[in-house]
Structure 1
């Protein structure tokens, strides 16, 4: 096996073929295109735009490993994180130690290049052992939470469509009960599209105020948000919450289908300290998106700590059996374990990954 930095100018066709072989479920999506690759790895608002490595068995590319340079504030100090993504091992080479070898090689290279730690968000349990072998640690779980509006797709997938009307009525009653006990919020909400995400009045001061209460926070600059929401063919909606003091809440969403259920997915959700009641206004904004897209659910991913802080159950969310894992490999020994491995210090959602 020969491991080396990946050169897209020479080997992009091979990399795209490997992507399709490793992720056949994405074959008919835009993520297999060269345009998607160029956006993801060559337009990120940093220099370098990305870090990419590959492995060859004789003359054939059989593995690939990449990381994007996400910046975090870790207890007040800026640290550079390699957000690992698109890790691939050709199906014919699995079970031969290739995953472990390219993991060793790539993270060693990232350390030499000045990356302080790497992060990852796997959901498939079979990939976890390979990461643990090269020094990664599972920090905590990130469950998926679901707020159902209708059950048509759920029961149709189980050939139980006759139950849908009863479940839909029960859900409507539950939502009515929640609304009765809803605490009123005097603010307003506005929904904009991703083309205006880097031009939100008051966003910079809002984010700085929000970040003060989050020990470990991703730098969600306007440039980063613009890049994150501009993959080829993608569409996002942003909910902005305001009161008399100005911008107090930000929520990034996307319409998608998860397990064949049409959903409004929440990628990020920030509320200023002391503005908890604004979540009810956010809930109304989400419902307007559900109606716009004829979705059947709202879904989000976050830690149990933040699910409790945001009072998701009061909004009608339930915890699903599905969960991502937040994993870290520390590359800079000057960062203490206490700063990296405490669930309550992190505010993590899909925006911290490359998913959705």
Structure 2
């Protein structure tokens, strides 16, 4: 079996899809079931997985210029897919796997990973331009792909039902957390989090981009309802890129920071993030919709109790190890957050169950399920 794996998402910083592509590429590279594995990055095919490096000044400036110019954007939109197709044309006997939904035209045997359908099912949570572009491209890729892969059984069933596809066209290959996420001793945690102005075990954590789908507004409202003494002793720490439609949230962040019960860190370095997870009293994730919900898995692997919504794929990931409620239920969320901080009996059980649950997910398993999908092609 010959495979060409797309590596465009592998860039610094490694976000969710970039991490998925990087980890899966490394596992596929040692599989005895793949006789030849190549990597498509941009329009170039090589035998090496690219490093997750930051863009240099020249390439970054060029990208910004293209984004600002309508003509340049249009030319790029036409030329980039053709160049990818031309590169793939030289390998007609290889399966091409795009790890982020997009397939160029005339690719031959092909597989695409669909991480979620939020631009269709939660379109109101995305910028209008992104919705129009991604809806069009996803439908085109769906027609071009021989097989589709999803991150969870939830997303698999959703894709099948939403687009009325045959069940033998869509397969799930579940994600895993990085090996960097595991329980750590207080001393090593303190060496990192104290630089951020935090105390190990004395904060609750949310990570994710600051955008409507993450339901941070509900999280803030629930946290505000906690007794004052708890909020001061266990401030809410939020880590993530500033996203879209987040101006009002940042105003609330600033007010809560002045009141002493919230810390907004912005983007946290990948080298520091595992320590930030491991040092949390509990991890809070009331997202409206997730194709998988990797942060809750990273929290469980770090030995941290989880409170999350019972929406979309999250119950599939946490099993019975977390406290869950409806995403918009502010009152219940407040009660669960307080329980996750104060109920030591539940905390010990949640940590044990979470570690066991996290171990059921691995990148080796993800690679094996991905190869099973390849075999259908």
State the TM bucket, normalised to the shorter chain.
under 0.3
Q: Return the structure number with greater relative CO, CA threshold 8 A, min gap 6.
A: 1
TM-score (norm 1): 0.27
Give the structure with the larger strand fraction.
1
Give the structure with the larger helix fraction.
2
